[in-house]
């Protein structure tokens, strides 16, 4: 299989988020925190959310990894502020579908800037990098829901 051109991967917006990640800090008051790592490559993220009344007030992360993983997490956190838990779940599902190559998901306006990551879906070994942040988000939502009901 031929690798598609690199410029579909390394778009300026991605590199910009990699160099200046948004919301990369510890959250003082957090409702839930998830640590996620990819042991194959060492990508690592700790995602922290502050939630009130089923709404994400704040999302921050700390971690390390490649440009794709860091840019995806950074963009994701900017979309989570003020987002309802239900919408966050939809966002995660939509992004995951885009990474699996679903063309309709890639057109979904709710993904906003995250759509620049569509090109990653053509680099199978890098899809995991793009997904690590959203995988952490989905775990966080599940963990929070469990803690709320118990």
15 is a site residue for other proteins (CB under 8 A): yes
Mark the segment that binds other proteins (CB under 8 A) among 6-14, 27-35, 72-80, 142-150: 6-14
Touching other proteins, residues 59-78 (CB under 8 A): 64-68, 70
Quote the CA–CA distance of 7 and 25 in Å, as a whole number.
30
> Number of residues in contact with other proteins, rule: CB under 8 A?
24
127 is a site residue for other proteins (CB under 8 A): no
- In the three-class reduction of DSSP (H, G, I as helix; E, B as strand; rest coil), residue 108 is classed as coil
113 is a site residue for other proteins (CB under 8 A): no
Q: Which helix (H) or strand (E) holds 129?
A: helix 127-149
**Judged by CB, which is closer to other proteins: 63, or 144?**
63
Mark the segment that binds other proteins (CB under 8 A) among 37-45, 47-55, 131-139, 141-149: 37-45
| Complete DSSP assignment for 12-56 | HHHHHHHHS-TTBS--SS-SEEEEEEETTTTEEEEEEEEEETTEE
């Amino acid at each position: 299989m031929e690798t598609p051109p690199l410029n579909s991967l390394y778009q300026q917006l991605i590199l910009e988020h990699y160099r200046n990640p948004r919301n990369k800090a510890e959250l003082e008051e957090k409702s839930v925190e998830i640590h996620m790592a990819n042991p194959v490559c060492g990508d690592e993220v700790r995602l922290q959310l502050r939630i009130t009344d089923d709404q994400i007030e704040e999302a921050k992360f700390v971690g390390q990894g490649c440009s794709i993983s860091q840019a995806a997490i950074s963009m994701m956190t900017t979309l989570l502020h003020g987002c309802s838990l239900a919408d966050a779940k939809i966002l995660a599902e939509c992004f995951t579908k885009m990474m699996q190559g679903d063309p309709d998901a890639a057109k979904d306006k709710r993904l906003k800037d995250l759509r620049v990551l569509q090109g990653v879906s053509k680099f199978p070994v890098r899809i995991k990098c793009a997904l690590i942040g959203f995988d952490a988000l989905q775990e966080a939502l599940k963990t929070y829901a469990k803690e709320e009901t118990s």
